[in-house]
Amino acid sequence: MKKNNRFISLSILMLIFGIMLSVQFNSLKAPKVRDTRDIWDLREDLKKEQKKQLELISEIDKYEKMLNTYSHQEETSRTKALNETLQNLKKQAGFTDVTGNGIIITISQLFSEELTGESIQNPPPDLLKKLINELNMYEAEEISINNRRVVNTTVIRDINGTTKIDGYPLDNYPITVKVIGKNADKLYSRMNASSLQDLFAGENLDLQIKRPEKQIKIKAYEGSMQVAPLKPLEKSKGENS
């Protein structure tokens, strides 16, 4: 609405300017008639015409500045809108730090190596993926594992016997999982009612879900997004050009 009003006002101003220019043009193009005025009258009329000319030039300058101002405002508005869109996309992609209400989950060894007689094992990648899937199912918005942001391209896998997240090893306990969610209390309740704790216990791992906290901070994703180059779509054989 403000934009429409601004252009309406500008149109009215330009209309007035056009009328002034037309009057000035007509006065310059008026047919020549025998002038019976004395020299003083001519000088006064000349001063008036010169004053009108200066006023006209001043008006032109004023309108040019107004147009430049409007153009600058439009460009600023576009830049601001693009910047807001960019920041929103970065946030969605995990490239910004975020803070919000959520829960903290710790994964540690359930029984010591002395009791089990077995060496300490890394958490199985499939079990960590199941944890992330359940968190997302319970409306988790942001997740990090040992301060490594989990994004759509995150890879958790076993590399030479070591579980890694995006290339970073998860071979020291405890492992800390930070979660920010829409409803931290509901997230806490659902995770406690989940069978995940039993699944982790089966791998000699203790999954502890702490009570909801405010102002949990999750760091931005530190990697770089790999975007495949765009290619033109190939038309199917039966499709017309």
Q: Would you say residue 225 has pLDDT above 60?
A: no
152 assigned to some structural domain: yes
Over residues 188-220, the pLDDT tens digits come to: 999 999 999 999 999 999 999 999 999 999 999
240 assigned to some structural domain: no
Phi, then psi, of 179 in degrees rounded to 5: -135, 130
Pair (151, 199) in one structural domain: yes
Pair (111, 205) in one structural domain: yes
55 assigned to some structural domain: yes
206 assigned to some structural domain: yes
| CATH code for position 199 | 3.30.70.1880
Q: What's the domain range around 196?
A: 98-218
Over residues 51-98, the pLDDT tens digits come to: 766 665 666 666 666 666 665 666 677 667 767 777 777 777 888 899
Question: What average pLDDT does range 99-120 have in this prediction?
Answer: 87
Pair (133, 108) in one structural domain: yes
79 assigned to some structural domain: yes
pTM metric for this prediction: 0.62
Pair (103, 19) in one structural domain: no
Question: What average pLDDT does range 149-177 have in this prediction?
Answer: 93
Q: How many domains does the chain have?
A: 2
Q: Would you say residue 21 has pLDDT above 60?
A: no
Pair (72, 118) in one structural domain: no
